Amino acid sequence: MSRINIYHLYPTHLNLYGDRGNMLALCRRAEWRSIDVNIIPVNPGDDIAFSRCDLLFMGGGQDSDQKMVAEDLKGRSRDMLKAVEENMVIFAVCGSYQLLGRYYITAQGEKIEGLDIMDLYTEKGKGRLIGNAAINCSLWEPPRTLVGFENHGGRTYLGPNLQALGTVLHGHGNNGTDKTEGAVYKNVIGTYLHGSLLPKNPLLTDYLLQKALAYRNQDSSFQELDDSLEEKAHQAALKLAGLQRK
């Protein structure tokens, strides 16, 4: 039987915007395919065995929590980067997406050094970018839609060689100006979208699971699931964003 070890970073500190929904989606969709999922919660100070971790999930946090998390992660960045280069999967939402970059500046103007895993940085902006969002995601060819909700004060800018997760169809995206949303580097995906993101976008959930299996050379061919409810929710969210699926 296939098996995926999901390391859940700081579940008590990074769980702001329904991140539990993302974890549930990963677990349930693996279970429904009889893939054994092992969840390892990581708390500040705990070790992360990168040799065993297949998928690292990082959620969003309040500014006060985020600083603590940044401190705690600093010592692990070298190991993390090495695993990333070997194609370990990371899925990071909102606050922890910012943390994957070079630095970010908090609402109070404080500069926090990031993990420097992705070539991006985050500045503070005027007002928060809030609302339903939809993007055209280029993980697939042709691109497919992802739908979610964004709520962030930071404005993230990608380096010239970093690929965005998608193009904004509705909403603000990384910074409200350049129409990019999220970022992809190897098997690392960072995004501002929550909602929760994964339950309504089963395609992305399956993408992460498959990459995690492939990372350990396990069979990543998937049986299809009945996604009619998820599909309806996806469509309803597209409609909310004033869009119909192309």
Partner 1 sequence: MENNQQQNENAGFTGGRPPGLRLLGAIWIGKILIFLTRKLGRGGTTLPGRAALSIAPDLSFMLAGRLKRGTIMITGTNGKTTTASLINDILDKAGLKCIHNQSGSNLAWGIASTLIENCSWKGRMDGDIAVMEVDEGAFPDVTTSLQPRGIVVTNIFRDQLDRFGEIDSIQALIKKGLDAAPVGSFQIINADDPSLASLTKSKKTKRWTYGLELDLPPDDFQNTGRDVKACPNCSHKLEYVKIYFAHIGHFHCPSCSYKRPEPDVRLTGRRVTGEGINQIEVKLPDQTLELEVPLLGIYNLYNVLAAITCARAFYISTPIISEALKNAVPSFGRMERFQKDSKEMIMALIKNPVGANEILRTILNQPGKITLVVAINDRIADGTDVSWLWDVDFEQLAAVKNRFSSVIATGLRAWDMAVRFKYAGFEPGQVQVEENFEKAVELALRQTGPESKLFILPTYTAMLDIRRYLNKMGLGNPYWEEY
Give the active site residues: 94, 194
- What is the rounded distance in angstroms from the CA atom of residue 22 to the CA atom of residue 197? 6
Kindly state whether residue 130 participates in binding partner 1, applying the rule CB under 8 A: yes
Q: Output the CA angle 234-238-239, nearest 5 degrees.
A: 115
Kindly state whether residue 71 participates in binding partner 1, applying the rule CB under 8 A: no
Kindly state whether residue 245 participates in binding partner 1, applying the rule CB under 8 A: no
User: Concatenated DSSP letters for 133-159?
Assistant: EEEEETTSSS-EEEEEEEEEEEEEEE-
- Which residues inside 143-162 make contact with partner 1, applying CB under 8 A? 149, 151
Which residues are CB-contacts of 246 (< 8 A; sequence separation ≥ 6)? 145
Shortest Å distance, C-beta 71 to partner 1: 11
Kindly state whether residue 49 participates in binding partner 1, applying the rule CB under 8 A: no
Which one of residues 63, 86, 123, 219 is an interface residue with partner 1 (CB under 8 A)?
63
- Which residues inside 73-112 make contact with partner 1, applying CB under 8 A? none
Which residues are CB-contacts of 18 (< 8 A; sequence separation ≥ 6)? 194, 195, 196
Could you tell me whether strands 36-42 and 188-191 are parallel, antiparallel, or unpaired per DSSP bridges? Answer: unpaired
Contact 89, 198 (CB under 8 A): no
Kindly state whether residue 133 participates in binding partner 1, applying the rule CB under 8 A: no
Kindly state whether residue 177 participates in binding partner 1, applying the rule CB under 8 A: no
Kindly state whether residue 18 participates in binding partner 1, applying the rule CB under 8 A: yes
Enumerate binding residues for partner 1 (CB under 8 A). 12-13, 15-21, 24-25, 28, 62-65, 68, 128, 130-132, 149, 151, 194-196, 199-200, 226, 229-230, 232-233, 235-237, 240
